[in-house]
């Protein structure tokens, strides 16, 4: 009897967590759909002009901006994060793993506003003086985001390396391959699905990040055609303008959230499909 009660209780709590997702989705769509219907789906996602006070609601530059910044961030994150995971999995002496791993996890605990602040004070002026332009740019945002997704990328791809059966490695070494050849030709392909999942989850984090991006992206409404140009992402659009938005403007911000929600749902689904064990 008591067992049953606890079981039912846990079920209820678990469902209430999931219910939150549905509630959030419901509210975003309820507020956003009427506006998209009014403006037209195509005009909303494929027009480049955003001026809510004049009734223009085109979010294409922000969709492009979000994707551009995110993909670049994942490139940075992949290069740094995978190298780090490979080193930790195969080459690092035991004592250094004990120091490095907690430090990487600490990276995940730093508030995003701190990343943004360092970006504004150090990275943006550096980009401005080295490469020109305003400094607030696609490049600055993607470097900051690339660093922010490192803990996710490293932790998940490290697990993927550890999950490769030791037999693979031993067999390869026994055949005379070097450690690097073994890692690159045997372990890396075997851990592939885990690594892809790591990158996609990192991507999800990068798409959703707001505060740090607002601070270093410049938030201009231009279509970013160069890495040194300012950019506005979907998340920053919502956070920047929600303060004073009302009426259609507010609905348009909800609709922006809708687009973001769909992008993240797609990314997570891909991650799930990729990591599902093949049967």
Does residue 228 bind other proteins (CB under 8 A)? no
In three-state secondary structure terms, 218 is strand
Q: Of 247 and 277, which CB lies nearer to other proteins in the complex structure?
A: 247
C-alpha–C-alpha distance, residues 123 and 103, integer Å: 22
Query: Which residues ranging from 95 to 124 are in contact with other proteins (CB under 8 A)?
Result: 120, 124
Count the residues of the shown chain that bind other proteins, applying the rule CB under 8 A.
34
Query: Which residues ranging from 199 to 218 are in contact with other proteins (CB under 8 A)?
Result: 214-215, 218
Neighbour tally for 269: CB within 10 Å? 11
Closest CA to 206 of 44, 75, 16: 75
> What track of x and - describes contact with other proteins for positions 54 through 83 (by CB under 8 A)?
x------x----------------------
Residue 45 beta carbon to other proteins: minimum distance, rounded to whole angstroms: 17
Does residue 229 bind other proteins (CB under 8 A)? yes
Residue 138 beta carbon to other proteins: minimum distance, rounded to whole angstroms: 12
Does residue 243 bind other proteins (CB under 8 A)? yes
Does residue 221 bind other proteins (CB under 8 A)? yes
Ordered alpha helix ranges (H), the chain: 2-39, 41-46, 60-86, 94-109, 112-118, 124-131, 138-148, 150-163, 166-174, 179-181, 188-190, 192-208, 211-217, 234-241, 247-275
Task: Report whether 259 contacts 64 (CB < 8 A).
Answer: no
Does residue 141 bind other proteins (CB under 8 A)? no
Residue 60 beta carbon to other proteins: minimum distance, rounded to whole angstroms: 12
Q: Looking at the chain, how many residues does it have?
A: 279
- Which of 108, 245, 264, 270 is the binder for other proteins (CB under 8 A)? 245
Closest CA to 65 of 224, 241, 227: 224
- Per the structure block, which two tokens stand in for 188? 């890396």
| Positions in the binding site for other proteins (CB under 8 A) | 48, 50-54, 61, 120, 124-125, 128, 132-136, 214-215, 218-223, 229-230, 232, 240-241, 243-246, 249
């Amino acid at each position: 009897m008591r067992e049953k009660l606890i079981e039912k209780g846990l079920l209820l709590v678990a469902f209430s967590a999931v219910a939150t997702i549905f509630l959030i989705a419901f509210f975003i769509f309820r507020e956003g759909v009427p506006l998209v219907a009014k403006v037209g789906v195509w005009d909303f996602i494929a027009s480049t002009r955003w001026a809510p006070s004049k009734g223009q609601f085109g979010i294409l530059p922000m969709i492009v901006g979000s994707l551009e910044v995110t993909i670049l961030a994942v490139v940075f994150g992949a290069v740094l994060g995978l190298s780090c995971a490979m080193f930790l999995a195969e080459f690092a002496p035991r004592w250094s793993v004990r120091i490095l791993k907690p430090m990487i996890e600490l990276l995940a605990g730093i508030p995003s506003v701190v990343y943004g602040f360092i970006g504004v004070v150090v990275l943006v002026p550096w980009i401005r003086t080295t490469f020109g332009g305003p400094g607030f740019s696609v490049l600055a945002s993607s470097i900051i985001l690339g660093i922010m997704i490192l803990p996710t990328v490293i932790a998940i791809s490290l697990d993927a390396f550890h999950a490769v059966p030791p037999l693979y490695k031993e067999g390869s070494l026994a055949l005379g391959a070097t450690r690097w050849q073994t890692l690159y030709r045997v372990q890396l392909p075997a851990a592939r699905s885990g690594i892809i999942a790591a990158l996609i989850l990192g991507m999800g984090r990068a798409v959703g990040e707001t505060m740090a991006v607002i601070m270093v992206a410049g938030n201009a409404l231009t279509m970013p055609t160069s890495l040194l140009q300012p950019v506005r992402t979907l998340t920053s659009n919502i956070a920047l303008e929600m303060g004073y938005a009302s009426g259609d403007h507010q609905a348009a911000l909800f609709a922006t959230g809708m687009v973001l929600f769909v992008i993240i749902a797609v990314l997570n689904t891909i991650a799930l499909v990729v990591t599902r064990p093949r049967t």
